[in-house]
Amino acid sequence: MAQFWKPGTEKPRLLDDGEGGVLFFSSSYSSSSSGFGFSSTEKQRQRLPVYKYRTAILYLVETHATTIIVGETGSGKTTQIPQFLKEAGWADGGRVIACTQPRRLAVQAVASRVAEEMGVKLGEEVGYTIRFEDLTNPDVTRVKFLTDGVLLREMMDDPLLTKYSVIMVDEAHERSISTDMLLGLLKKIQRRRPDLRLIISSATIEAKSMSTFFQMSKRRRGLEGETLEPKVEPAILSVEGRGFNVQIFYLEEPVSDYVQSAVSTVLSIHEQEPPGDILVFLTGQDDIDAAVQLLIEEGQNDRKKSELIVLPLYSGLSRAEQDLIFSPTPRGKRKVVISTNIAETSLTLEGIVYVIDSGFSKQRFYNPITDIESLIVAPISKASARQRTGRAGRIRPGKCYRLYTEEYFINEMPAEGIPEMQRSNLVTCVIQLKALGIDNILGFDWPSPPSPEVMVRALEVLYSLGVLDDDAKLTSPIGFQVAEIPLEPMISKMILASGELGCSEEIMTIAAVLSIQSIWASSRGAQKELDEARLRFAAAEGDHVTFLNVYKGFLQSNKSSQWCHKNFINYQAMKKVMEVREQLRRIAQRLGIIMKSCERDTTAIRKAVTAGFFANACQIEAYSHNGMYKTVRGSQEVYIHPSSVLFRVNPKWVVYHSLVSTDRQYMRNVVTIDPGWLTEVAPHFYQQRQLSHMPH
Ligand code: CDP
Ligand code: MG
């Protein structure tokens, strides 16, 4: 397919060097790619832009309760600042320096990098914690990387986070729900802990509004008559980046298939452009795997194309796969990394000279009226597009190919993204705040408040789950137990119900699988074989029961990777399922849930699923010939996802785990139910009136 490119004409606002179409990042260093072993780690560290600011950063942190640090991606914020703090003594006396990230993969990657730079074993002086994986040692870990979600959980046991001396909330520009909650809660903690220091760091941020947010505490402190040391006015520091010109090209005509278009662009860069690695931004595991597959096939019978080393980058990769991404490209080869927006600001890959930007990412959207939350492939913002472009200017002047037209960029792309808080279902968020003793959820001090309708919806669902009582307080024991399990409340409720229904062994497996992206080894090239493999495990009751068949087969194979390969199952994912399951068992034991198997009484299993996911119940449209369902609550049109074993089977009543949106709203992970169970498990949610048309 021929694609025609047009150099961009936009003059970027901030980084303009006066020449149209060229983004300029101030370049004060001549750099060589790191990782080739010419210089010591220490020299590499000194070459990073933040190094020049070491003294300034340490001074500001010493004298200010909150320091806001803005700096170009790759300037060394995440890997260096925690080390500066450590060297300056902030971890003395058993205290710990924390650095949070919105993404699990970023936590693992930066922690292992920092351990390497400090010459220590990961898990000792430097460690990390993500959900279901704790690589720290409380006695010796002094620099700790963790997801913002995990830090929120730690507050449940230690509300003032007393073991931390400095907390660096990194990637704040991402505005994830957990980051926003953390900012609100840390602001409260600060009032009780004048010794605590906060660093808010990000690639691009409205530093002013963040500063205003943290300033508020000054007045309150003054009123309460506490001491005003350290300075409560936040400090703002801007780290000047280093980088090179990136020339931008746009498509002359829009394309419909960005995967195909990205693949063609990779191939033509490889044919026509000098050496240098390529970074491609797609949206998720599906389209990334498809692109990887297409490129690998291209390389199979073409010597030139076989010089490409094609690597996917998304959450859920194993450590070995991550290491490949970061290791230097061998001579005569060209690395092609195909990534979600994780490589936009969370991770910096050296050696990238060419960026291909699809213009899309997977985003969550929630509509409180229909009560539907789904993952949608949606246009990114101009701010994101600029970040993606910048990734090409790391080691020398680069090129960025945007798979959209310039008119589209100028006229249609939104300037900024919307914070996740304002486009999500807040059930998980509300239960966490309740568990932290925040009673007045509507009055909570948010960086960007969510709409009251969404809050009310969340309260209602939690009430129906039996988690909150009439006064919107956590119920005992259910509410406290649900809050204690580090999963979405609906899964937690399903687990609790399984204890009573005598199917906890099975539900633990299902919960573990649902907490993982996908257990199937999907790739476009082998769709037919994958579908056949799936059929081998398919259960008439639906995907949840199918997972049990896969799990059983995996155990019977002695957890064999060949068995997984043969059956199109992702071995890494299955290993993760085992780990998560084990952790859930431990939590269940602590909560006094009795472990029991129902010996394939799938009624008990499906009832337990319904007890958690009743809000996602759907009925097939009687006269629909195309498999259209309507949600029971909001009468929204939904369809069974082609990856489900119930696709085309179309049973009458189902509940789903999640929705993805493409041309339609598709239900992923679907199980058949008896509609009578709905009023049984959630009488408040499904008042008789709504279900009057139900057969009983
Ligand atoms: O946080 P920020 O984007 O400012 O930069 P950083 O993540 O601290 O990255 C600083 C340097 O460390 C970059 O040159 C990265 O390529 C390198 N790095 C790495 O080589 N391997 C990692 N796992 C993480 C960072
Ligand atoms: Mg960073």
Tell me the CA–centroid distance for residue 104 and ligand 2, in Å: 13
Nearest CA to ligand 1 atom 8: 76
Amino acid 294: pLDDT: 93
Tell me the CA–centroid distance for residue 345 and ligand 2, in Å: 7
Q: Which pTM was predicted?
A: 0.89
Amino acid 33: pLDDT: 39
DSSP string, 24-73: ----------TTSSSS-HHHHHHHSGGGGGHHHHHHHHHHBSEEEEEE-T
Residues with CB under 6 A from ligand 1: 34, 48, 71, 73-80, 109-110, 113, 326, 348, 350
pLDDT digits (tens, 9 = 90+) for 419-468: 999 999 999 999 999 999 998 888 899 988 999 999 999 999 999 999 99
One-letter identity of residue 181? M
Ligand 1 atom nearest to CA at 345: 3
Q: Which of 235, 273, 285, 288 is CA-nearest to residue 354?
A: 273
34 pLDDT band, cuts 50/70/90, is: very low
Amino acid 243: pLDDT: 78
Ligand 1 atom nearest to CA at 49: 4
**What does the alpha-carbon distance between residue 57 and residue 237 come to, in Å, rounded to a whole number?**
8
661 pLDDT band, cuts 50/70/90, is: confident
Ligand 1 atom nearest to CA at 394: 14
DSSP string, 626-679: S--EEETTT--EEEE-TTSTTTTT--SEEEEEEEEESSSEEEEEEEE--THHHH
Q: Which of 36, 47, 79 to mutate to test the pocket of ligand 1 (most atoms within 8 A of CB)?
A: 79
Domains annotated on the chain, with CATH: 48-239 (3.40.50.300), 246-421 (3.40.50.300), 485-681 (no CATH)
**What does the alpha-carbon distance between residue 655 and residue 620 come to, in Å, rounded to a whole number?**
11
Ligand 1 atom nearest to CA at 80: 8
Ligand 1 atom nearest to CA at 112: 23
Amino acid 30: pLDDT: 33
Q: Write down the mean pLDDT value for the chain.
A: 89
548 pLDDT band, cuts 50/70/90, is: very high
**What does the alpha-carbon distance between residue 238 and residue 353 come to, in Å, rounded to a whole number?**
25
**Which of 9-23, 527-541, 608-622 reaches the highest mean pLDDT?**
608-622
Amino acid 696: pLDDT: 42
DSSP string, 333-365: -EEEEEE-THHHHT---TTEEEEEE-SEEEEEE
Tell me the CA–centroid distance for residue 652 and ligand 1, in Å: 52
**What does the alpha-carbon distance between residue 184 and residue 559 come to, in Å, rounded to a whole number?**
44
Ligand 1 atom nearest to CA at 50: 4
Tell me the CA–centroid distance for residue 659 and ligand 1, in Å: 35
Q: What is the mean pLDDT of residues 198-222?
A: 74
State what percent of residues in the chain have pLDDT above 90.
71
Backbone angles phi, psi at 458, to 5 degrees: -65, -45
Nearest CA to ligand 1 atom 6: 76
523 pLDDT band, cuts 50/70/90, is: low
pLDDT digits (tens, 9 = 90+) for 618-637: 999 988 788 999 999 888 99
State what percent of residues in the chain have pLDDT above 70.
91
Tell me the CA–centroid distance for residue 80 and ligand 2, in Å: 10
Contact 546, 538 (CB under 8 A): yes
Amino acid 124: pLDDT: 97
User: Is the confidence at residue 525, as pLDDT, over 60?
Assistant: no
In order of 19, 410, 446, the CA distances from 12 in angstroms are: 10, 11, 31
pLDDT digits (tens, 9 = 90+) for 500-516: 999 999 999 999 999 98
The ligand with the least distance to the CA atom of 70 is: 1
pLDDT digits (tens, 9 = 90+) for 127-168: 999 999 999 999 999 999 999 999 999 999 999 999 999 999
Contact 506, 498 (CB under 8 A): yes
694 pLDDT band, cuts 50/70/90, is: low
Amino acid 44: pLDDT: 87
43 pLDDT band, cuts 50/70/90, is: confident
Tell me the CA–centroid distance for residue 264 and ligand 1, in Å: 30
Count of positions (residues) in the chain: 696
126 pLDDT band, cuts 50/70/90, is: very high
Q: What is the ipTM of this complex?
A: 0.98
Contact 7, 251 (CB under 8 A): no
Question: Residue 259, CB half-sphere, CA atoms under 13 Å: how many?
Answer: 17
User: Is the confidence at residue 337, as pLDDT, over 80?
Assistant: yes
Tell me the CA–centroid distance for residue 348 and ligand 1, in Å: 5
**Which of 202-206, 348-352, 682-686 reaches the highest mean pLDDT?**
348-352
Least-confidence region, from 294-308, 642-656, 678-692 = 678-692
User: Is the confidence at residue 61, as pLDDT, over 90?
Assistant: yes
**Which of 297-301, 421-425, 516-520 reaches the highest mean pLDDT?**
421-425
Residue 384, token pair as written in the block = 């994101």
The ligand with the least distance to the CA atom of 351 is: 1
Tell me the CA–centroid distance for residue 113 and ligand 1, in Å: 8
The ligand with the least distance to the CA atom of 82 is: 1
Q: Which of 92, 160, 105, 156 is CA-nearest to residue 133?
A: 105
